[in-house]
Amino acid sequence: MTIFGWAVGLYAGASALAYFGHRAVMYPAPGRAVEPVLEDAELSRIPGRGGRTVFALYSKAPEGAPTIVHFHGNGEELADQAWLAAALRRGGVGVLAVEYPGYGLARDHKPNEQDIYDDAETAIRYLQQELEVPKEKIVLQGQSLGTGVATEMAARGFGSKLVLISPFTSMVAMARRVLPILPMRVVIRDKYDSLGKASRISVPALVVHGASDDLIPISMGRRMAEALGPAKLVEVAAAGHNDLFERDGRRIVSEITEFALAP
């Protein structure tokens, strides 16, 4: 075989490996399956599509206040969101934190973009129809991977406001940062093309991003903020991807709750 043939074979092999293996990298679920615990909150078990159960931690909003629907990052699970739900609730809002298939108590299912969207929509419809929270009192919020979910829900017409914490523009763009030579638009099946959906979103938006984020660069947060209206952009000085709330959590929670409560 010629050097060219070896190169083509290597390229094809790398592309195939990325195609079939990228979900294992994209969804590193902790696998603890711990039930979330939060005082004055309840764990909802909602019948979902494909025989799945959608798990969501619900803390009712004070009278007249909005409810934040939160979608977590890819290395977390629902039990890890209790502290954030408590902090947001102290700020005067309600919270519905939603689990993904393949994560936590829903670990028996394989995560993928479409099923995550389906479970997110199921949880929002439950909030509207069973818990009687109207659209104008729903704020969609996502962190990291969850920004792709929140953006999709906003593009589908759910919620009256959108909060994105450490957002990426698309998973294809993220993959190109790691392996720019591969045809990522073909290789990556779960694309989460948030930037491409931004033009379909007209609700007020808030973007929070660490200025020193070396996983999802702040340039992506800035692009998303500009594409969403523009949105209000809060840059957290010296904060990376995983220490955002440790750096300035009080300010971030205050920014989120003030944004959610604003008329």
Beta-strand runs (E) in 92-211: 94-98, 138-143, 161-165, 205-210
Q: What is the pLDDT of residue 8?
A: 37
pLDDT at residue number 24 = 79
The whole-number pLDDT of residue 183 equals 62
| Structural domain total, the chain | 1
List the structure tokens of 232.
């209000």
DSSP character at residue 31: -
**Domain of 213, in residue numbers:** 3-261
Q: Give the C-alpha separation, 117 to 107, whole Å.
A: 16
pLDDT at residue 54, as a whole number: 98
pLDDT along the chain (263 residues), means of 10: 41 43 80 90 96 97 98 97 97 98 94 97 98 98 98 98 98 83 73 98 98 98 95 97 97 98 96
Q: Domain of 7: which CATH number?
A: 3.40.50.1820
pLDDT in the model for residue 11: 34
What is the value of pTM for the model shown? 0.92
Q: How far apart are CA 192 and CA 194, in angstroms?
A: 6
